[in-house]
Structure 1
Amino acid sequence: MNRRLAREKAFQVLFSIDNEDFDPRVALELSMDGEEANEFLTALIYGVVENKSDIDEQITDALENWSFKRLANVEKTLLRIATFEMTSAIDTPVGVAINEAVELAKVYGDDQSGKFVNGVLSKINK
């Protein structure tokens, strides 16, 4: 599994965890359809779950004229993944983490999601 697909799977799992209150292991197992999860995928999922409050604080600090509670679940989940990826020991260039989050926002969000995600992540990167 390449990193792009792993990010998409991580998005699906973390979205399920937030919206359905799934256990991370169960959500991961259900999303894999019998495939084995790779190290990058599990690092993203468990990294976001374990550091959620710190990540949410970083996102909140980067928001302008917007509250964290008002964020749509798609954008919130993508921002969490990218923020973790940008600020952790995972070996991903910041630009790649931002670009991947923007691309997923274009697929799963609305017309403005990509721009919004890009703007917030750019502020976190400063």
Structure 2
Amino acid sequence: MKRRTAREKALQSLFQIDVSESEPKEAIENVLEDAKTDPFLEQLVFGVVEKKEEIDLLLRANLEKWNLERLANVDRSILRIAVYEMKYIDEIPVKVSIDEAIELAKNFGDDSSSRFVNAILSKVKDSL
């Protein structure tokens, strides 16, 4: 599985966890629909779930005039994946994590999601 596909599946899994409070393993199984799992996908989903409090603290510190809970679920999940990559996966350049998050926002968010995600992640990058 390509990393971009793994990120998309991770986004779908985390969205499901966020909305319906599914267990991570169950959410991954649901989005894979009997396809083979991927170590990067699992790393993202389990990593974001495990580090969610730290990630959310970092996001809250960089959201101006926004409340994390009021963000669209898709945008919040995209931001969490990107921050997890930026902070905890050293072999992925920060620029790549931001670019991939912007692409996810273009594909899964609304018209303004990609600009919003870019702005927040640029602030997060500066604070890391």
Q: TM-score, normalised by structure 1?
A: 0.96
In the other structure, the counterpart of 1:61 is: 61
Q: Distance in 2 between matches of 1:66 and 1:33?
A: 35
In the other structure, the counterpart of 2:14 is: 14
Deviation at residue 89 of structure 1 after TM alignment: 2.9
Deviations 1:27-65 (A, max 9, x none): 111111212211111000000000001000000001112
Identity %: 48
Q: Distance in 2 between matches of 1:57 and 1:67?
A: 11
The count of corresponding residues between Structure 1 and Structure 2 is 126
Moved more, 114-123 or 20-29: 20-29
Counterpart mapping for 1:20-59 below 5 A: 20-59=20-59
2:75 is equivalent to residue 79 of structure 1: no
Moved more, 89-98 or 16-25: 89-98
The amino acid that maps onto 2:7 is R
Which SS does the other structure have where 1:79 is aligned?
helix
Q: TM-score, normalised by structure 2?
A: 0.95
Which SS does the other structure have where 1:111 is aligned?
coil
Which runs of 5 or more structure 1 residues have no equivalent in the other structure? none
Which runs of 5 or more structure 2 residues have no equivalent in the other structure? none
Following TM superposition, the consecutive aligned residue runs of length 4 or more in structure 1 with deviations greater than 4 angstroms are none
The amino acid that maps onto 2:101 is A
